Structures are given as structure tokens and as C-alpha cells.
Amino acid sequence: MLSFKFQNDTPLKILCLGAHCDDIEIGAGGTLLKIIQENEVSHLSWIVFASNEIRKQEALISAHRFVEDIPNNKVSINTFRDGFLKTEFVKIKEYFEELKKDIDPDLIFTHYRKDRHQDHRLISDLTWNTWRNHMILEYEIPKYDGDLGIPNFYVPLQEEIIHKRNKIILESFISQQNKHWFDEATFNALPRLRGIESTSRFAEAFYVRKLVI
């Protein structure tokens, strides 16, 4: 089992960006749990862009369960309209510019740039527009569109981490339980496939456009 430890004398600062309320958890939840377990994290900002009142409360519950061991964390759940982020481009672009003034992260999680969901692509594009000299991992979300690609960065995960990630998602997002895809089989499927590709049982996979060591 590979370790995800950063060779850094200073604690990590992490930024997580998601278009929708459960995106970060589904795309990078296991990796985040592993990083927090194996590294000292001084700050974690968790930002979601689209939600409504019900989804916002669920997202707050979920996010705080992920970041509860990090003393300096900030969870922001915005209320832009799901599916219409492009119509709010100026406001969201200004939001990113303000974020850049507040945080200089060591590691950023964002959406895959070739994701077929228009909200996901916008957040990915603005991430790269805003932070050009940072380590950015683009995560993947399984969906109807069948838009999975060929990732080039794998994080093997122990089964207990995947179970913990799934438990938080399933217990937090009650409003999604009537969706045909919202179950543990779905949340195990992609990590199992990526595990096969990385010669482990489970893994989360990411897309890295540039990596400077």
C-alpha cells in the first residue's frame, strides 16, 4: 500500500472545490481522509457552489465530518443554481478572485476539465485560471453521461477508508436517497476499478495536467 505523505517541513494547506454538494466527497473523499490521516494539515477550505436550503444543510454535515480533525477549517456552501453556473459566470469569477487573496494552497482538488456536466467544467476552468502555479488534482464523478477518461494519478486506499467515506455520504445526503444511483454499490464501483488499474483493491484516481516537483 502506497503512502500519501508530503515531504514538507510545514503543514499542508488544502483547497477543495465542488460544483455541487456531494461532488468533493464522491470524487476525492477517500484521498482527503488519507491525507489528513498521514499528514499535518494546517488549513482546509471546502467550497461548494450550487445548493438549496436542504442540500446546504446536508453538505455542511458531511463536510464537517471530513474536516473535524483539522482545527483551522472553513466550509462554505454557496447557493448558486444547480445547472446554471455559466449564467452566473461574472459573480463566480469574482468569487474565485477573492479566494485567491485569502488562500495560497499547497494542494487543490477540483473537477475534471473534460467532465460533461457544464457546472463541473466551469469550476475546473476557473480553478486553472485562478491558480497557475499550484498542484491541482482533478477528480472524477460517475454519472449518466459516461464521460470517464484515463487518469494519470492514483491514490490507493484501504477498505476502511472507502467504507468511512461511503458512510458519511450515505448518512449525510438524505435527500438523495431516492436517486437510482445513490447507494454503496455505486460509491464502491469506481474506486474498485481504479484499484484494479493501480494494482490495489481500492483507489481514487485524478487527472494531473502539470506537476512540478
pTM of the complete model: 0.95
Q: How confident is the model at residue 212 (pLDDT cuts 50, 70, 90)?
A: confident
Average pLDDT of the segment spanning 107-113: 97
Q: Up-side HSE of residue 95: CA atoms within 13 Å toward CB?
A: 18
- For residue 1, pLDDT beyond 50: no
At residue 2, the pLDDT reads 42
Residue 167, number of CB atoms within 10 A of its CB: 13
- For residue 7, pLDDT beyond 80: no
To 10 degrees, what angle do helices 89-102 and 118-130 make?
Answer: 40
| pLDDT single digits (tens) 12-65 | 999 999 999 999 999 999 999 999 999 999 999 999 999 999 999 999 999 999
At residue 8, the pLDDT reads 63
> Burial level of 180, CB count in 10 A (0-12/13-18/19+)?
exposed
Percent of the chain past pLDDT 70, that is, above it, reads 96
- Report the Cα 193 to chain-centroid distance in Å: 18
Task: Strand 73-80: give its sheet, edge to edge.
Answer: 73-80, 41-50, 12-18, 107-111, 135-139, 202-207, 153-157
At residue 5, the pLDDT reads 60
| pLDDT single digits (tens) 170-193 | 999 999 999 999 999 999 999 999
| pLDDT single digits (tens) 132-164 | 889 999 999 999 999 999 999 999 999 999 999
* Mean model confidence pLDDT for the chain: 94
